[in-house]
Amino acid sequence: MRFMILMKSDERAEAGEAATEADLAAMYRYNEELVKAGVLLGGEGLHASARGTRVTLTAEETVVAHGPFPRPRELVAGFWLIQVKSREEAIAWARRCPAPADGETVLELRQVVEAEDFGDALTPELREANDRLRELTVS
């Protein structure tokens, strides 16, 4: 099972405050544990929403809005993509994420949709086409 661990933003991150050396060292150790356990597929931190753009699509129009965006706690500041055996294992890894010396960190875990989750709607032709695209993806 693959899970995305989403780290929520906060007012300090949205203000562009740099992480401390101690925070970076703690995060490095956590990432190193994920790698050594063989569960980390990817992960990155994200710039503040002031440097972001939101694209909203409807059948009638496309709206482009440039950041910053309101409600920092609803924004994503970074992510990890992990492969584990269960939701409980994903939660256990999330619990090991370092907490800041002051304030709090909110993590949201979301299971990644796999091909079998689509049932009959994912025809053999669509599955084959999707597999071809995955082979061409830049990693």
Amino acid identity, residue 123? Answer: T
Position 16 confidence tier, pLDDT thresholds 50, 70, 90: confident
Kindly list the structural domains of the chain, giving each domain's residue range(s) and its CATH number in brackets, ordered by start.
2-114 (3.30.70.1060)
pLDDT tens profile 60-110:
999 999 999 998 889 999 999 999 999 999 999 999 999 887 778 899 999
Q: What is the mean pLDDT of residues 32-52?
A: 96
Closest by CA position to 78, among listed 38, 24, 114: 24
Q: Over 48-108, what HEC string results?
A: CHHHCEEEEECCCCEEEEECCCCCHHHCEEEEEEEECCCHHHHHHHHHCCCCCCCCCCCEE
Query: Is the N-terminal amide bond of 70 cis, ω within 30° of 0?
Result: no
Position 139 confidence tier, pLDDT thresholds 50, 70, 90: low
Q: What is the mean pLDDT of residues 33-41?
A: 98
CB 14 within 8 A of CB 72: yes
What confidence score (pLDDT) does residue 118 get?
Answer: 87
CA–CA separation, 118 and 126 (whole Å): 11
CA–CA separation, 129 and 91 (whole Å): 33
